[in-house]
Amino acid sequence: MDSEKVDCERELPENNIEVEKVLHMTAGEGAYSYAKNASIQKKVISKAKHLIEESIGELIFSGNECLKIADLGCSSGPNAYLPTWDVIESLHSICCRLNNKPPDLQVFLNDLPGNDFDSAFKLLPSFYERIKREKGEESGQCFIAAVPGSFYGRLFPPRSLHFVFSSYALHWLSQVPKGLVSESGISLNKENIYIAKTCPHSVRKAYFDQFDSDFTTFLKSRSEELKLGGRMVLALKSDDNRYHNIWEVFGEAINDLVLEGLIEEIKLASFNVPFYGPRAEEIRHLVEEEGSFSIHKLETHYENWFDNGRQQIRLL
């Protein structure tokens, strides 16, 4: 038996990584930061704009009530304020038609504690100035605060929110799926870091089961926090072709590093990405099964990612 095979079949170390503590986008404003490399995410938010407008137009609130919204998984950089601006424009348009003054707005920016909130809040003064400059002094005031924590659980008091938005965040799982290692400690997903063509069915099931648990928890938590008649818009990254995705490309690249002796094979065998790109029918099934929400629209948009692949966005 060759040494590579022996190494691959060694008992894997227990995966104790706490995703909530370590997962975050690259901070700062450097060349490799999220702020400088988030054009795709910006495009996704722009595609959700009409759904934000529709949702805000359907809300029921009193004229003097402060409208409370949450952006879950906001990350950092300029993109963090794009959904809020879309809400402000929608409110301004609606209130102008009704000859009413726009209500005050309380915005909660949420992400995991490791997120670069400092980078986001450095942009806050210029964002407030933009509101005054483009919407005038008569526009309702906007108050923005950060709420660090996992959205796979409660973040806000009961019945406290009017609107929830989340873009490009819910495909990140709360933990690496269980069931990727056999009872004897052998990796079931060798040479891969996510679902791939060579994966056994048990790997695919483990990933879906984790997404099922996380997404159901998310829906239950938001159903308790939203006011009756509240609205929610979600945008998720999905795999158009589950077996041709960016993680498979990364896995192949890491395999090359293993073959070159730059990375230990045991490290590749013990690493799996806490990510799941759900299909439209999976989203619909889980929403209907959980039962707290009804789907108003479920849209699919395509963006070029690779020459031979596509990135699929689900808007709920």
**How big is the chain, counted in residues?**
316
Query: Are residues 35 and 154 in contact, defined by beta-carbon separation less than 8 angstroms?
Result: no
pLDDT of residue 21: 59
> Within 10 Å of residue 188's Cβ, how many Cβ atoms?
16
> Within 10 Å of residue 316's Cβ, how many Cβ atoms?
21
Query: Are residues 258 and 268 in contact, defined by beta-carbon separation less than 8 angstroms?
Result: yes
Taking only the tens place, the pLDDT of each residue in 122-181 is 889 999 999 999 988 777 889 999 999 999 999 999 999 999 999 888 989 999 898 887
The mean pLDDT value of the chain amounts to: 80
- What are the structure tokens assigned to 264, written together? 């230990």
User: pTM for this structure?
Assistant: 0.83
Sorted by sequence, the CB contacts under 8 Å of residue 192 that are 6+ apart come out as 198, 199, 203, 248, 251, 272
- What are the structure tokens assigned to 18, written together? 């706490």
Query: Are residues 153 and 115 in contact, defined by beta-carbon separation less than 8 angstroms?
Result: no
Query: Are residues 75 and 112 in contact, defined by beta-carbon separation less than 8 angstroms?
Result: no
Residue 244, CB-side half-sphere exposure with 13 Å CA sphere: 10
